[in-house]
Amino acid sequence: MKVLVVGGGGREHAIAWRFNKDENVSKVYAAPGNPGMKNVECIDITDFEELANFAKENDIGLTMVGPEVPLCEGIVDVFKAKGLKIFGPDKAAAQLEGSKSFCKDFMVKYDIPTAESATFTNEADALAYIEEKGAPIVVKADGLAAGKGVIVAETKEQALEGVKSCFEGSFGDAGYKVVIEEFLDGEEASIFAFLDGKSSATLASSQDHKRAYDGDLGPNTGGMGSYSPAPVVTDEVMEMVQKEVLDNVTRGLQEEGLYYRGIIFVGLMIKNGVPKVLEFNVRFGDPETQTVLMRLDSSLSEAMLATVEGRLDEVDFKWSEDPACCVVLASGGYPGKYAKGHTITGFDEAEENGAVVFHAGTSLVDGNIVNTGGRVLGVTARGKDIKEAVDKAYEAVSKIKWQDVMYRKDIAYRAIERLNK
């Protein structure tokens, strides 16, 4: 079967890499893909109609969509209308990520454990609510804001500022509606599950590091590294998530008549072994995917196809016991301003010990790979325990050089601390 991956980041690179190891896959296309992808035909089409026609003409048996934006814009609706198999929710169901208030209403209606919240379209009412509740408190722009629309406010002033900046248009249309939410503390983890309309199947757990600097300090980013499994996700937590979250999501989608044949990313805050949902994403996480897929030992294409065809119950996922670690190399200054266009070296040396270098923000210029994005590479390795996976990833990282490269030195520190207990 030929497959098409929509997107060009580290997550999509990991998916294309996994497809290339899959005996059911004869050819991998990516739109637009990236210069690090090997044995992948990259195509430069963004228009959904055109892409669907390309998929039809080239006999593509399965399309998988990486990022949330095309899902929220309705790529699944266009492919489905042409009778093409595509992995993901349609536009209406993608609102679970595209609108925080839609997601909160859904969670409340279907008894999914989450933080208490209220939604406002009027600035004065939002400010009054914060005055009443006090801090810490969390302010969220309703729409997609590339991970930047969430303000975790430690003081009332920060929360008030956050609301004002939403209504002043800092997040564009995404911010004229805000969700204000109870602050939850605990440890975060992500659980991915495939949904086929009738049931769900969880994948291996993982955890990312959202803050820019060591010790989980500094500004929030798209994710500076990840590891899998996440020891905070015990069997009991997994069971609770299945029963209280995933079963209720499936029921809710059915009752609302929403079409969803894809992956759901459950962002959790876990305290004393009790999980609450922070958010749903309607796609794989980045960089969590890099570590989760490095541990998948069964066919990804078959699992996705079965999901689209509503026969998820036939899928037998096989996971390696070996943990995996991904260290993100970013451009110096990220998530703020950074310089682009520096030549990167050391790719082959980095992969000598079995690590894989996934590209996220690179371009090919005059035969050289240069940095063009904030998050540039995701260096990922597997080991017999988390310590070995981390050491292998950092050994590979040490071979890669470019001016002003920046990365965290402590990815997976919590998992290693647990190992030492």
Binding residues for ligand AMP, rule: CB under 6 A, are 115, 138, 140, 150, 152, 181-184, 188, 210, 267, 278-279
Q: What is the radius of gyration, based on Cα positions, of the chain?
A: 21
Cβ closest to ligand AMP, residue 71 vs residue 115 = 115
Order of strands across the sheet that contains 178-182:
117-120, 178-182, 137-141, 150-153
Cβ-Cβ contacts under 8 Å for 405 (sequence gap 6 or more): 329, 330, 331, 332, 376
98 is an interface residue for ligand GLY by CB under 6 A: no
208 is an interface residue for ligand GLY by CB under 6 A: yes
Q: Which amino acid is at 368?
A: N
Cβ closest to ligand GLY, residue 281 vs residue 372 = 281
Cβ closest to ligand AMP, residue 245 vs residue 278 = 278
Provide the 10 A C-beta neighbour count for residue 319: 14
Contact stretch for ligand GLY (CB under 6 A) within 134-142, 198-206, 281-289, 410-418:
281-289
Q: How far is the CB of 280 from ligand AMP (least distance, A)?
A: 9
Q: How far apart are CA 351 and CA 397, in angstroms?
A: 9
User: In this structure, are residues 390 and 416 in contact, taking their beta carbons and an 8 Å threshold?
Assistant: yes
Cβ closest to ligand AMP, residue 123 vs residue 187 = 187
Instruction: Write each residue from 222 to 261 as x if it is in contact with ligand GLY (CB under 6 A), else as -, in one continuous string.
Output: xx--------------------------------------
Among ligand AMP, ligand GLY, none, the one that 150 touches (CB under a kind-dependent 5 to 8 A) is: ligand AMP
Q: How far is the CB of 179 from ligand AMP (least distance, A)?
A: 9
Total of residues contacting ligand GLY (CB under 6 A): 7
Among ligand GLY, ligand AMP, none, the one that 30 touches (CB under a kind-dependent 5 to 8 A) is: none
Handedness of CA 211, 214, 216, 219 (dihedral sign): negative
Cβ-Cβ contacts under 8 Å for 73 (sequence gap 6 or more): 48, 91
- φ, ψ at 296 (rounded to 5°): -80, 120
Among ligand AMP, ligand GLY, none, the one that 278 touches (CB under a kind-dependent 5 to 8 A) is: ligand AMP
Cβ-Cβ contacts under 8 Å for 374 (sequence gap 6 or more): 221, 222, 330, 331, 334, 335, 338, 361
Cβ closest to ligand GLY, residue 17 vs residue 167 = 17
Tokens in use for 187? 């440890």
Among ligand GLY, ligand AMP, none, the one that 184 touches (CB under a kind-dependent 5 to 8 A) is: ligand AMP
Q: How far is the CB of 63 from ligand AMP (least distance, A)?
A: 26
Cβ closest to ligand AMP, residue 278 vs residue 411 = 278
Q: How far apart are CA 95 and CA 9, in angstroms?
A: 22
Cβ closest to ligand AMP, residue 219 vs residue 310 = 219
Q: Which listed residue (285, 335, 373, 378) binds ligand GLY by CB under 6 A?
A: 285
286 is an interface residue for ligand GLY by CB under 6 A: yes
- φ, ψ at 11 (rounded to 5°): -60, -45
Provide the 10 A C-beta neighbour count for residue 274: 14
Residues lying near ligand GLY in the complex (CB under 6 A): 208, 222-223, 281, 285-286, 288
